[in-house]
């Protein structure tokens, strides 16, 4: 089933890789390069099925973005996955406390990415 | 192209941008101008390079970036103060990271320089092992379920027949958008399940809070050999639920109805209702990826180049069209002529607009210099401070591409020969740190780039001596200070007693000058002894078009670059004076200027032999000053598209390039300096002429 | 196919033949970009006489070499009936002025003989060999040598 997925990451490389993996699996991808833009894109898009966001970003970081989404209305219950690297357990915890549903470890491979999505989205 | 390859290209492009941002940030940290946001930006740049690198398996790069990132994290969190020494290490680490990226880009191995890495590790105060141990500890904490049943069999070696799982989500689990349904669905991929929902906690409908959790599940899982797989399913929610996993051997005593596959779990029904009420019509709004007018878009340079070429052809074709129409006798006042005029204006605007797309700030070239300066300063053991000015000055990309090499040379020269060592400087009453200033600005329709230093200046007597020694000037020649300074551009000239391995890589200043002149530019140097020197480099704003004056000599048409033209005049026979055996001078309002016949110089047939019968164009030539060029007539003045000449042929002295005129024929664009140099060679024997030129 | 036949099958190349000064020449068809009629050139200063000048080839500045003059046999009196063969070789594109284009030939390497030593030295640079076909003698030109020799001409220019 095709899902609508929002990806938020300041790295063009990561955005491209996510888009490639997700659209190959038949999903629709919309993108933003930081939290502020993510909020704008989300407002225009309405409801999305999954949100994937990085943590370190300019203007508004991942934590701020997650908190914003969770305090809003439309996407309050939308699963949010954070992109994190192996050695950042403290960041994972903080993201979860902000309201993240789960995480994907960088570098990710498409299979892991899709498995994580399956785990949080029907 | 394979999509991953395309993304790899994107990655390297992104690395270039990130490395620049990183360096900028580090430099402002060095200058003490950095705030928290700048430090954050530096951290993010390195972090992103690391992130992408991991995806492509650049292990060495990732390893180094990780160490670098750790230190940066400490700086941004305030744990480590960004003192001058610390920033110096960071700058070197940044250079090293750039090397790693370059190595990854061309697939080569980088010999790990343990120095920088060791310094970074020192700063971070932790070894790799300690870090990994800390991380492992955190990880293991997360996997521990909240309730540990100590009655479990201690030895997990024999595979369990079944697991009994009690799963009671907290409200937080739902708040983070996790779904028990999905978790159970995943459990079912591990083996056979019997799932029972415990609905005992659900209160009356009226008092249900949709955000609370009232349900829990008892699940029996068969056929799954290990506990870790089960724990992994609940990985995301381990802190937000009560999870009890036990090995279970006996059959379940209670008949638990198995939930049908497609059913919505009971617990979600109520929440769904709420969701539906909130949910709007989900007509997806397709966002254009580039919409806001303030944003920029990325365009392949190839596309822009093609556009520029086509517009160039348009200009030529329009000129041809106009010419044909004029030849047909259409008077200037007819609608056709008016239309053509309009066309010309529009095209000119179009051309300017398109050329503007291709202009870039010189910043992209300037940004390479700080690292060069750092390396040179280290190599020569001198203290150097680099000041950059006018980085936003914009120039066409054709020029930008050719700037790097001469700039590098001039900076090398300044540091290697210009600046003194710290001790010498102190002895001379100067600050120990030498300053090199690199600036760019628009001046008179050209771009002027200057590299100046506050070093020892040019030792003129030594230069003069060397030049005489090498037979480049005659011993009796008198030269002004400026002319002496510019002797260093002559081929074969080098004042260093041994060619330093920095400046003298076989490419002398004469080659630098030749390359610049070929581009239609000029380079001169001036200096004050003990105070410093300056290189001044001028280049046209674009190498694609040229404002030119069309002149005729004999049956040929030539183009003279307007930038070199001072004025044009109709000479009187009485103003022309013979000089020496072959030369001629022209009296221009009391000043005698060398007179050169273009037709003669270029061996054009049937050109006027008497300069007074034609027109004289007074031009400014580098190093010589003014020269009068005699031509038969002036045909017009136009912007012409420069066509490369040398790509299919070889260089001809005096010819800069070619263009295609309105009649479709090729016209040669003259290189004023080259022409004059040519004529100078011919007149070399006449010392009198040389002296006159110096006058 | 016998081994011999197989071998020659691989060594076949196509050539365009053209006439200049009453002789027949040929050039590898892969090197030839197009063929056009003669138009007046813009002369270049201080170049050897066989460099007739440059013309505008759809926006590209194309140098034109007079083959007859290059062979030391004097300048061609060019008319619109004459032909310029536009040749690509390496990074350069040049035009070759000849009298007319005649044919397309397929030549196997077996049919190519090397140049006899008696022939003038200067020609050896760009003559690949001689083919004898149907009783005609065709001189095969090595275009890359012809075009690259242009840079050698620099020395002449400097002497001027």
B647-667 burial, b for 16+ CB within 10 Å, e for fewer?
ebbbbbbbbbbbbbbbeebbb
Residues of B in contact with A100 (CB under 8 A): 176
A79–B177 CB contact, under 8 Å: yes
Identify which of B40, B176, B278 has the shortest CB distance to residue A74: B278
Percent of chain B surpassing pLDDT 90: 10
B624 Cβ contact list (under 8 Å, min separation 6): B594, B676, B680, B693
Residues of C in contact with B660 (CB under 8 A): 56, 59, 61
Can you tell me the mean pLDDT for B459-483?
81
B578 SS3 class: strand
Q: Residue B264 pLDDT > 70, yes or no?
A: no
Whole-number Å distance between alpha carbons of B541 and B522: 13
Domain boundaries, chain A: 4-120
Tell me whether C151 touches chain B (CB under 8 Å). Answer: yes
Residue with more model confidence, B262 or B680: B680
Strand order in the sheet with B615-621: B565-569, B615-621, B625-631, B591-597, B583-588, B576-579
C26-54 pLDDT, tens digit each: 988 888 889 999 998 998 988 888 899 99
Whole-number Å distance between alpha carbons of A51 and A5: 6
B189 SS3 class: coil
What pLDDT does residue C10 have? 59
Whole-number Å distance between alpha carbons of A75 and A49: 9
- The Cα of B650 is separated from the nearest Cα of chain C by a number of Å equal to 6
Rounded to two decimals, the pTM is 0.54
Identify which of A46, A89, A108 has the shortest CB distance to residue B280: A46
Q: Residue A57 pLDDT > 70, yes or no?
A: yes
Tell me whether A103 touches chain B (CB under 8 Å). Answer: yes
Identify which of B648, B650, B664 has the shortest CB distance to residue C93: B648
The bridge status of strand C60-66 relative to strand C51-57 is antiparallel
* B near A: at least 3 beta-carbon pairs less than 8 Å apart: yes
Q: Residue C158 pLDDT > 50, yes or no?
A: no
B653–C157 CB contact, under 8 Å: yes
Q: Does residue B34 come out as left (phi exceeding 0), alpha (psi in the -120 to 50 range) or beta? A: beta
What pLDDT band is residue B547 in, cutting at 50, 70 and 90?
A: confident
Structure token digits, residue C79: 């008319």
Q: Please choose, from the candidates B181, B174, B251, the residue with its C-alpha nearest in 3D space to the C-alpha of residue B214.
A: B174
Tell me whether C93 touches chain B (CB under 8 Å). Answer: yes
Q: Residue A93 pLDDT > 90, yes or no?
A: no
Structure token digits, residue B269: 């029904």
Residues of A in contact with B210 (CB under 8 A): none
* C near A: at least 3 beta-carbon pairs less than 8 Å apart: no
Q: Residue B636 pLDDT > 80, yes or no?
A: yes
Whole-number Å distance between alpha carbons of A21 and A110: 5
Highest mean pLDDT among B35-49, B297-311, B571-585: B35-49
Identify which of B651, B653, B667 has the shortest CB distance to residue C42: B667
Q: Please choose, from the candidates B491, B400, B371, B384, the residue with its C-alpha nearest in 3D space to the C-alpha of residue B436.
A: B384
A25 SS3 class: coil
B105 Cβ contact list (under 8 Å, min separation 6): B12
B616-634 pLDDT, tens digit each: 998 887 656 788 999 999 8
B619-635 burial, b for 16+ CB within 10 Å, e for fewer?
bebbbbebbbbbbbeeb
Average pLDDT score, chain B: 78
What pLDDT band is residue B98 in, cutting at 50, 70 and 90?
A: very high
3-state helix, strand, coil in chain B (%, to 5): 45, 20, 35
Q: Which domains does chain C have, with CATH numbers?
A: 3-159 (2.40.50.180)
Strand partners, B655: B670
Nearest chain C alpha carbon to B315? C59
Helix axes A110-120, A12-24, angle to 10 degrees: 70
Q: Residue B132 pLDDT > 80, yes or no?
A: no
CA atoms within 13 Å, Cβ hemisphere of B121: 14
Q: What is the separation of C-alpha C12 from the centre of its chain, rounded to a whole number of angstroms?
A: 19
Domain A4-120 has CATH 3.40.50.2300: yes
* Signed CA dihedral, B167, B171, B174, B175: sign only: negative
Whole-number Å distance between alpha carbons of B640 and B631: 20
Q: Residue B445 pLDDT > 80, yes or no?
A: no
Nearest chain B alpha carbon to A102? B236
Strand order in the sheet with B556-561: B633-641, B545-553, B556-561, B666-670, B655-660
The bridge status of strand A50-53 relative to strand A4-8 is parallel
A13–B10 CB contact, under 8 Å: yes
Can you tell me the mean pLDDT for C49-68?
88
Tell me whether C154 touches chain B (CB under 8 Å). Answer: yes
Q: Residue A28 pLDDT > 90, yes or no?
A: yes
DSSP H helices, C11-139, are 67-70, 121-124
CA atoms within 13 Å, Cβ hemisphere of A33: 11
Residue with more model confidence, B680 or B529: B529
Nearest chain A alpha carbon to B139? A89
What pLDDT does residue B450 have? 93
Q: Which of B134-138, B176-180, B303-307, B612-616 has the lowest mean pLDDT?
A: B134-138
What pLDDT does residue A87 have? 62
Tell me whether B175 touches chain A (CB under 8 Å). Answer: yes
- The Cα of B563 is separated from the nearest Cα of chain A by a number of Å equal to 43
Q: Residue B154 pLDDT > 90, yes or no?
A: no
Q: Which of B101-115, B344-358, B433-447 has the lowest mean pLDDT?
A: B101-115
What pLDDT does residue B329 have? 75
What pLDDT does residue C2 have? 52
8 Å CB contact between C45 and B603: yes
- Residue found under tokens 């001058």: B84
Percent of chain B surpassing pLDDT 70: 81
Helix (H), strand (E) counts: chain B? 22, 22
The bridge status of strand B446-453 relative to strand B532-540 is antiparallel
B666–C56 CB contact, under 8 Å: yes
What pLDDT does residue B624 have? 66
B364 SS3 class: helix
B399-419 pLDDT, tens digit each: 888 888 888 888 988 888 888
DSSP B210: T
CA atoms within 13 Å, Cβ hemisphere of B594: 27
8 Å CB contact between B432 and B415: no
8 Å CB contact between C90 and C96: no
B204-258 pLDDT, tens digit each: 888 888 888 888 888 888 887 788 888 888 888 888 888 888 886 654 444 445 4
DSSP B643: B
A90–B138 CB contact, under 8 Å: yes
């Amino acid at each position: 089933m095709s899902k609508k997925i929002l990806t938020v990451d300041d790295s063009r490389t990561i955005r491209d890789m996510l888009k490639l993996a997700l659209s190959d699996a038949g999903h629709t991808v919309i993108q933003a390069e930081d939290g502020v833009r993510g909020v704008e894109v989300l407002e225009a898009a309405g409801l999305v099925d999954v949100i994937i966001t990085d943590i370190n970003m300019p203007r508004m970081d991942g934590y701020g973005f997650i908190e914003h989404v969770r305090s809003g209305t439309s996407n309050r219950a939308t699963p949010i996955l954070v992109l994190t690297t192996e050695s950042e357990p403290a960041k994972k915890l903080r993201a979860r406390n902000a309201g993240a549903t789960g995480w994907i470890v960088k570098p990710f491979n498409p299979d892991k990415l899709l498995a994580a999505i399956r785990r949080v989205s029907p | 192209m394979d999509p991953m390859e395309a993304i790899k290209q994107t990655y390297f492009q992104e690395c270039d941008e990130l490395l620049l941002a990183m360096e900028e940030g580090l430099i402002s940290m060095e200058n003490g101008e950095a705030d928290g946001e700048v430090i954050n930006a530096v951290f993010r740049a390195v972090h992103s390079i690391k992130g992408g690198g991991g995806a492509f398996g650049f292990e060495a790069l990732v390893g180094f970036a990780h160490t670098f990132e750790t230190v940066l994290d400490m700086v941004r969190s305030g744990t480590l103060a960004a003192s001058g020494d610390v920033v110096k290490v960071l700058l070197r680490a940044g250079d090293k990271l750039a090397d790693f990226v370059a190595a990854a880009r061309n697939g080569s191995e980088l010999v790990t320089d343990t120095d920088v890495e060791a310094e970074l590790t020192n700063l971070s105060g932790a070894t790799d092992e300690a870090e990994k141990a800390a991380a492992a500890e955190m990880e293991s904490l997360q996997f521990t379920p909240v309730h540990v049943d100590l009655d479990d069999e201690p030895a997990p070696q024999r595979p369990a027949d079944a697991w009994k799982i009690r799963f009671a989500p907290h409200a937080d689990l739902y708040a983070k958008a996790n779904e028990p349904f999905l978790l159970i669905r995943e459990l079912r991929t591990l083996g056979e399940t019997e799932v029972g929902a415990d609905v005992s906690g659900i209160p009356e409908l009226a008092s249900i809070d949709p955000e609370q959790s009232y349900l829990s599940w008892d699940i029996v899982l068969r056929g799954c050999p290990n506990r870790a797989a089960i724990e992994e399913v609940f990985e995301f929610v381990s802190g937000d639920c009560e999870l009890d996993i036990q090995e279970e051997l006996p059959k379940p005593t209670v008949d638990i109805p198995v939930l049908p596959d497609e059913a919505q779990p009971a617990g979600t029904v109520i929440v769904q209702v709420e969701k539906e009420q909130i949910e709007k019509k989900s007509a997806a709004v397709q966002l254009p990826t580039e919409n806001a007018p303030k944003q920029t878009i990325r365009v392949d340079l190839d596309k822009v180049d093609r556009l520029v070429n086509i517009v160039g052809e348009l200009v030529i074709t329009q000129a041809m069209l106009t010419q044909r129409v004029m030849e047909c006798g259409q008077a200037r006042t007819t609608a056709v002529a008016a239309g053509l005029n309009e066309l010309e204006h529009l095209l000119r605007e179009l051309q300017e607009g398109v050329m503007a797309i291709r202009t870039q700030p010189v910043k992209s070239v300037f940004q390479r210099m700080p690292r060069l300066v750092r390396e040179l300063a280290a190599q020569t053991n001198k203290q150097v401070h680099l000041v950059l000015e006018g980085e936003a000055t914009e120039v066409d990309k054709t020029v930008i591409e050719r700037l790097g090499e001469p700039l590098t040379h001039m900076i090398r020269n300044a540091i290697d020969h210009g600046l003194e060592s710290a001790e010498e400087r102190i002895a001379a009453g100067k600050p120990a740190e030498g300053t090199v200033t690199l600036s760019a600005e628009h001046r008179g329709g050209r771009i002027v780039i200057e590299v100046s230093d506050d070093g020892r200046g040019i030792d003129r007597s030594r230069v003069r001596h060397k030049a005489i020694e090498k037979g480049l000037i005659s011993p009796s020649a008198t030269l002004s200070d400026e002319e002496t300074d510019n002797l260093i551009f002559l081929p074969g000239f080098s004042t260093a007693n041994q060619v330093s391995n920095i400046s003298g890589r076989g490419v002398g200043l004469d080659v630098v000058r030749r390359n610049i002149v070929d581009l239609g530019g000029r380079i001169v140097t001036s200096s004050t002894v003990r105070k410093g020197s300056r290189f001044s480099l001028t280049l046209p704003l674009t190498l694609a078009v040229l404002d030119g004056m069309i002149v005729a000599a004999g049956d040929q048409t030539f183009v003279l670059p307007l930038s070199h033209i001072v004025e044009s005049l109709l000479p009187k026979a009485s103003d022309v004076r013979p000089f020496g055996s072959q030369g001629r001078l022209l009296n221009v309002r009391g000043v005698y200027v060398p007179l050169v016949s273009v037709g003669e110089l270029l061996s054009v047939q049937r050109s006027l032999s008497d300069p007074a019968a034609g027109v004289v164009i007074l031009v400014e030539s580098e190093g010589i000053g003014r020269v009068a060029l005699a031509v038969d007539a002036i045909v017009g003045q136009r912007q012409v598209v420069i066509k490369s000449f040398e790509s299919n042929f070889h260089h001809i002295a005096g010819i800069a390039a070619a263009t295609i005129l309105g009649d479709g024929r090729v016209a040669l664009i003259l290189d004023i300096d080259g022409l004059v140099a040519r004529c100078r060679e011919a007149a070399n024997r006449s010392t009198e002429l040389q002296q006159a030129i110096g006058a | 196919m016998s081994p011999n036949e197989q071998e020659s099958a691989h060594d076949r190349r196509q050539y365009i033949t053209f006439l200049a000064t009453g002789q027949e020449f040929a050039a590898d068809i892969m090197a030839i970009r197009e063929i056009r009629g003669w138009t007046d050139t813009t002369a270049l200063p201080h170049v050897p006489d066989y460099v007739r000048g440059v013309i505008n080839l759809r926006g590209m500045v194309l140098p034109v070499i007079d083959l007859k003059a290059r062979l030391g046999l004097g300048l061609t009196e060019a008319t619109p009936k004459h032909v310029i063969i536009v040749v690509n070789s390496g990074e350069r594109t040049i035009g070759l002025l000849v009298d007319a284009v005649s044919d397309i030939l397929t030549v196997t390497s077996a049919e190519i003989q090397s140049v006899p030593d008696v022939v003038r030295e200067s020609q050896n640079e760009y003559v690949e060999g001689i083919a004898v076909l149907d009783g005609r003698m065709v001189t095969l030109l090595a275009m890359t040598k012809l075009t690259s020799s242009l840079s050698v001409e620099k020395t002449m220019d400097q002497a001027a």
